[in-house]
Amino acid sequence: MTLRVLLLLTLFPLSAVSAPLPIPDQGPALRIQGSNTIGAALGPALVKGLMEQQGLQGVHAEPAEGANEQRVIGKTRQGKTLTIEVDAHGSSTGFAALHKASADLAAASRPIKDSELVDLEPLGDLKSPEAEQVIAIDGLAIILNPRNPLNTLNTEQLAQIFNGEISTWEALGGIGGAIHLYARDDRSGTYDTFKDLVLSRRGKPLAASAKRFEASEQLSDAVSQDPQGIGFIGLPYVRQAKAVAIVDGDSQPMLPLNSLIATEDYPLSRRLFFYLPPTSHNPWAKALVDFTQSSKGQAIVAANGFIAQRVQAISVEPRPSMPEDYQAIAREAQRLTVNFRFEEGSASLDNKARQDVQRVVAYIKGHGKLDKQVTLVGFGDIKNDPERAALLSKLRAMAVRRELVKSGVVLRDIRGFGAQMPVAANTADEGRIKNRRVEVWVY
């Protein structure tokens, strides 16, 4: 490829580049490794979408040499074959493959760890906005056999169940005798997420009796066939099992509903990522990232059962547990399916939020709501000072306002509700981060 084409690919989005992507003479055009949650179906579907957009014909996926490995194959009009490899053995394997230069793009169902960030430092900053790409939102569903009468569990109970401290259904007020545990394997980002959100937060390891699975589908089917079974799974893999509502701290019980996962309020929601090394010169890797973030790519995300990053307005039913002023907003306005969240001590938008600003602006402009039709509602975590939480909740909303004003949005109002209406427990940093959020409401 010429230097001129490389520069074009770097400076402009794929849609602005007229030249088609190059077809290598030998070997795969792109190698993706990592998360089974992404690689089982979503990754190959996104690859197919890109290849078809590029004009390739007869695009199809076929099994590769190993389990959970696929090749997506297509042909140019001139009859030349192009192959993209997708290996799905768990998020950690994607980062290891980047380190060994055996992959061009890592798929992960959890954020990159600090240790991995250090190992991959020669490839550039993988936490930079260009490198860390949130491609979808997923929710970990806690699944039971459909005949199990329980409908709600809290995160403390989940930790005790999967640690083995609670070992019978009767101890939870149910029936059925001994609890049978089903879990993903150690290399899985799904397991890492469950471990981080539920087990490690309470200093509990997974019980050795848990039956482990590399494939999500197999785990879900096993639970749906075992009246005493319980497992955790990515949202698209609930299949024939039954998902229960989850409570975290003082939050309301929440089912893994699309709207609650889109805003990341659901306690076991998570982000799915592509990690593209800043030093990458593979045009197919950059093109796949750009395609995934496009409207076509996000439609593929939704079609595969995940939550697309498409901004929509939803009605919220006022509840007595809500502050009266919040109920008034809910009665008059609709909430957008996006939340802006903040790290401790920071009002800087994270990588997802930067892209969400553009999505929110596009929605506001597309629906004619630029002039005083938008209210921002901020929340914080209580810590030891409710007044400080109230102040910070409004300051964070003002940080979002600054970004929206740059695009010509004139706000109707900015409200701060402090530590009210928590969506997660305030006993751990992760929960406090979830509670520090800004909602967007449109009239």
The whole-number pLDDT of residue 220 equals 97
Q: Please indicate, yes or no, whether residues 431 and 325 belong to a single structural domain of this protein.
A: yes
372 and 400 inside one domain: yes
**Residue 385 placed within a domain:** yes
pLDDT, the chain, mean: 91
Instruction: Note the pLDDT of residue 343.
Output: 63
Specify the range with the lowest mean pLDDT, choosing from 200-214, 299-313, 418-432.
Answer: 418-432
Is residue 270 situated within a structural domain?
Answer: no
Closest to 412 (Cα-Cα) out of 332, 355, 347, 312: 332
The pLDDT, as a whole number, for residue 47 is 98
Check residue 347 and give its pLDDT.
67
Check: CB of residue 276 under 8 Å from CB of residue 303.
no
**Residue 13: is its pLDDT beyond 60?**
no
**pLDDT given at position 8:** 38
pLDDT for the residue 384: 65
pLDDT bin (cut points 50, 70, 90) of residue 354 is confident
Are 111 and 28 contained in the same domain?
A: yes
Q: How many domains does the chain have?
A: 3
- Residue 292 and residue 341 in one domain: no
What is the band of 432 on the pLDDT scale with cuts at 50, 70, 90? confident
How much is the pLDDT for 428?
67
Statement to judge: residues 87 and 157 lie in one domain: no
- pLDDT at res. 145: 97
Residue in this structure with the two tokens 């469950």, named with its chain if needed:
194
3 pLDDT above the threshold of 60: no
Q: How confident is the model at residue 345 (pLDDT cuts 50, 70, 90)?
A: low
Q: What is the pLDDT of residues 91-130, one digit of tens each?
A: 999 999 999 999 999 999 999 999 999 999 999 999 999 9
Region 363-390 average pLDDT: 89
The residue range of the domain holding 321 is 311-442
CATH for 350: 3.30.1330.60
The count of C-alpha atoms lying within 13 angstroms of the C-alpha of 366, restricted to the half-sphere facing its C-beta, is 10
pLDDT of residue 380: 85
Label residue 16 by pLDDT band (50, 70, 90).
Answer: very low
| 269, part of any domain | no
Check residues 404 and 349 and name the one with the higher pLDDT.
404
Q: What is the pLDDT of residues 285-294, one digit of tens each?
A: 999 999 999 9
Q: Would residue 271 count as lying in a domain?
A: no
Domain assignment present for residue 116? The answer is: yes
For residue 337, give Cα distances in angstroms to 199, 244, 334, 442. 28, 22, 10, 11
Residue that is last in its domain, among 235, 262, 289: 262
Q: Same domain, yes or no, for 328 and 235? A: no
Domain co-membership, 316 together with 438: yes
* Residue 165 and residue 228 share a domain: yes
Residue 98 lies in a domain: yes
379 and 329 co-located in one domain: yes
Would 267 be classed as within a structural domain?
no
Question: Among 114-128, 163-177, 298-312, 370-384, which is the least confidently predicted range?
Answer: 370-384
pLDDT of residue 193: 86
Residue 49: inside a domain, yes or no? yes
Across residues 72-76, what is the average pLDDT? 97
Query: Do 27 and 125 share a structural domain?
Result: yes
More confident residue, 162 or 7: 162
Which CATH number belongs to the domain containing residue 236 in this structure? Answer: 3.40.190.10
> What pLDDT is recorded for position 436?
87
pLDDT (average), residues 11-26:
66
pLDDT band at 9 (very low <50, low <70, confident <90, very high): very low
Same domain, 321 and 432: yes
Is residue 224 domain-shared with residue 315, that is, in the same domain? no
Average pLDDT over residues 383-405: 87
Query: Could you tell me which residue, 185 or 17, shows the higher pLDDT?
Result: 185
